[in-house]
């Protein structure tokens, strides 16, 4: 094991921060194709991949056993159930149909078998997706026929993977479907009324990230022997494969964050993408100290004894709530919002005005209604609100943060102080070892690119950042730690709210 405490999360953060290549927005993006099949003992050939995709038992054999689940004989029903369990993943398509049977005995037994085979089911799903992806990477026209047959598959991700593989074989570009701004905004209006900060991050359609290539680049940065990094990469690949076999593939397209007006009371994160709700519930329950209840039609899980509350929605949205255990969380408000598609945020006039003042078409945008509880630095205290936006510019994003105050002189002084603090922070990061080099470099680059100016009662900060927009969250976390080491907290005195002034049309 190398001396930097690397993990899957570490590799992911390095990719997201732009220090080690592009980032993916699906779990399978982080599984290298060759490593997957080597660990499975399967050759990377068209014939082998065809066999993976054709791994089905004869329909008649499975159908016979499912029919026996309705037998009048208890012994026959038990024997059929046991045989179906032995058939494993190959019997899953027919079992999924049987689980919808109008015969209660067949339905209950099929559902029970499916629960027993849940992990095997996800492994089969992942193997099929990896086989489809591999056929595209092999670029052999002989694979076209089987891929064409999958273009209308109803199984999660299969049709998209088949389309991407066919494009690769034909030498054509392929872009994964992405949420448009209108769909993303729908998640914003699901947030509770009492939020003081909203941040939305849209992830671009990702691509494959090979841990072996990432670790090879990291080895050059940190001076670690390539062989040690190769061993680390193998362990990471195995960990990701094991995770995928438990959860199946999942995708993250957009993250919408709402922080309570009193940050100590917690936050709400709405994750938009695609996942299997039943599998996720099972995985979370398997962690221990997890309880589940129904609120309306939604599954609500208390994870870690109440550390997190998770609302499993419709396989496209996942809602995560944090906050002190001894304080109620807005579960009822959020489940009602998920049902009606309208949350309480629309009743918060100041936040609505701020959101209307920012370009919500941007891949990253945010607004904050600054109150004394948000003031972690004396310079923040002169402002009443701020809006953030980012636009794509080649291989990076250009960020603009505009903060509104009341006193022009105080705003000018704060802007100069923030600029100085950022320059100091950039030097501090470069000289300290508490951040690993692959993370430290992009953080220092962001801090070094930051420029702050003041015009009247408005301060404007601009900076650049490479990599996925989700890396901005990591930068903010790092920046917060750095600033707390350089400047102390100084809450401002309470005063009347400053009128919201639109900063973007």
Range 151-155, long-range pairs (CB < 8 A, 24+ positions) = 155/125, 155/128
Kindly report the backbone phi and psi dihedral angles of residue 302, in degrees, each rounded to the nearest multiple of 5, phi listed first. Answer: -100, 110
pLDDT tens for the 505 residues of the chain, in order: 344 444 444 544 554 455 455 567 899 998 889 989 998 999 999 999 998 887 555 567 788 888 888 888 999 999 988 888 877 766 777 888 888 888 888 899 888 888 777 767 788 889 999 999 999 999 999 999 999 999 998 888 999 999 999 999 999 999 888 888 899 999 999 999 999 999 999 987 777 776 666 666 555 555 555 666 667 667 777 888 988 988 899 999 999 999 999 988 999 999 999 998 888 888 888 777 899 999 988 999 999 888 899 999 788 999 999 999 888 999 999 999 999 999 999 999 999 999 999 999 999 999 999 988 887 777 888 999 999 999 988 778 899 999 999 999 999 999 999 899 888 888 887 776 655 666 677 778 888 889 999 999 999 999 988 766 765 555 554 444 433 443 334 333 344 443 443 433 3
**What pLDDT was estimated at residue 280?**
87
Per-residue pLDDT at 255: 94
CA pair distance 466, 443, nearest whole angstrom: 10
Is residue 473 within 8 Å of 201, Cβ to Cβ?
A: yes
C-alpha–C-alpha distance, residues 463 and 419, integer Å: 11
Residue 491 phi, psi dihedral angles, 5° rounding:
-65, 140
d(CA 270, CA 345): 14
Contact status, residue 159 vs residue 153, Cβ threshold 8 Å: yes
Contact 211, 233 (CB under 8 A): yes
- Position 192 scores a pLDDT of 96
Listed residue (143, 206, 131, 149) closest to 169, CA to CA: 143
Sign of CA dihedral 138, 144, 146, 147: positive
The whole-number pLDDT of residue 375 equals 75
Q: Listing from the earlier edge strand, what are the strands of the sheet with 195-202?
A: 291-295, 298-303, 308-312, 317-322, 267-274, 251-260, 195-202, 364-369, 383-393, 396-405, 458-466, 451-455
Residue 20, CA atoms < 13 Å, CB-side half-sphere: 29
Q: What is the dihedral of CA 84, 274, 194, 360, to 10 degrees?
A: -170
The alpha-helical segments, DSSP class H, found in 27-142 are 33-40, 46-53, 59-68, 74-87, 92-98, 104-116, 118-138
Structure tokens given for 483: 């600033």
The residues pairing with 309 across neighbouring beta strands, listed in sequence order, are: 302, 321
Report pLDDT for 3: 40
Query: Measured between alpha carbons, how far is 214 from 130 in angstroms, rounded to an integer?
Result: 20
Local structure of 197: helix, strand or coil = strand
Cα separation of 190 and 144, whole Å? 43
List of residues 6+ apart from 476 with CB closer than 8 A:
none
Identify the CA nearest to 69 among candidates 82, 55, 58. 82
Cα 117 to Cα 67, 218, 279, 359, distances in angstroms: 19, 39, 11, 47
Contact by Cβ (8 Å): 39, 241: yes
């Amino acid at each position: 094991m190398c001396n930097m405490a690397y993990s899957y999360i570490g590799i992911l953060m390095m990719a997201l921060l732009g220090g080690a290549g592009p980032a993916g927005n699906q779990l399978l993006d982080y599984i290298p194709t060759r490593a997957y099949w080597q660990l499975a003992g399967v050759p990377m050939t068209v014939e082998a991949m065809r066999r993976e995709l054709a791994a089905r038992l004869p329909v008649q054999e499975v159908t016979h056993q499912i029919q026996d689940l309705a037998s009048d004989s208890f012994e026959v029903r038990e024997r059929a159930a046991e045989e179906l369990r032995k058939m494993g993943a190959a019997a899953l398509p027919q079992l999924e149909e049987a689980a919808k049977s109008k015969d209660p005995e067949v339905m209950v037994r099929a559902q029970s078998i499916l629960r027993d085979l849940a992990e095997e089911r996800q492994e089969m799903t992942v193997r099929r997706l990896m086989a489809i992806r591999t056929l595209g990477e092999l670029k052999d026209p002989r694979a076209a026929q089987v891929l064409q047959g999958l273009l209308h598959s109803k199984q999660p991700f299969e049709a998209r993977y088949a389309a991407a593989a066919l494009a690769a074989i034909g030498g054509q570009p392929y872009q994964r479907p992405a949420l448009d701004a209108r769909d993303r905004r729908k998640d914003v209006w699901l947030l509770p009324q009492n939020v003081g900060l909203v941040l939305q991050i849209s992830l671009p359609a990702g691509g494959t990230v090979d841990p072996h290539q990432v670790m090879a680049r990291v080895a050059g940065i940190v001076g670690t022997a390539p062989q040690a990094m190769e061993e680390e990469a193998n362990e990471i690949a195995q960990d990701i494969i094991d995770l995928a076999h438990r959860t199946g593939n999942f995708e993250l397209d957009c993250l919408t964050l709402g922080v309570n007006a009193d940050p100590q009371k917690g936050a709400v994160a709405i994750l938009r993408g695609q996942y299997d709700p039943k599998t996720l519930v099972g995985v979370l329950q398997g962690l221990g100290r997890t309880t589940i209840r129904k609120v309306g039609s939604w599954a609500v899980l208390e994870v870690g004894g109440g550390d997190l509350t998770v609302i499993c929605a419709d396989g496209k949205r996942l809602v995560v709530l944090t906050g002190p255990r001894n304080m109620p969380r807005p579960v009822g408000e959020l489940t009602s919002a998920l049902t009606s598609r309208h949350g309480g945020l629309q009743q918060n006039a100041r936040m609505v005005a701020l959101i209307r003042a920012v370009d919500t078409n941007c891949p990253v945008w945010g607004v904050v209604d600054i109150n004394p509880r948000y003031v972690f630095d004396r310079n923040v205290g002169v402002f009443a609100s701020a809006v953030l936006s980012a636009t794509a510019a080649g291989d990076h994003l250009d960020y603009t943060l505009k903060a509104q105050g009341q006193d022009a002189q105080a705003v000018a002084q704060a802007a100069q102080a923030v600029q100085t603090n950022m320059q100091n922070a950039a030097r501090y990061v470069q000289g300290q070892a508490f951040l690993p080099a692959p993370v430290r470099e992009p953080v220092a680059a962001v801090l070094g690119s930051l420029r702050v100016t003041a015009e009247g009662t408005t301060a404007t900060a601009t900076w650049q950042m490479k990599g996925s927009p989700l890396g901005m969250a990591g930068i903010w976390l790092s920046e917060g730690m750095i600033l707390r080491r350089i400047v102390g907290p100084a809450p401002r005195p309470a005063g009347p709210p400053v009128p919201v002034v639109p900063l973007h049309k």
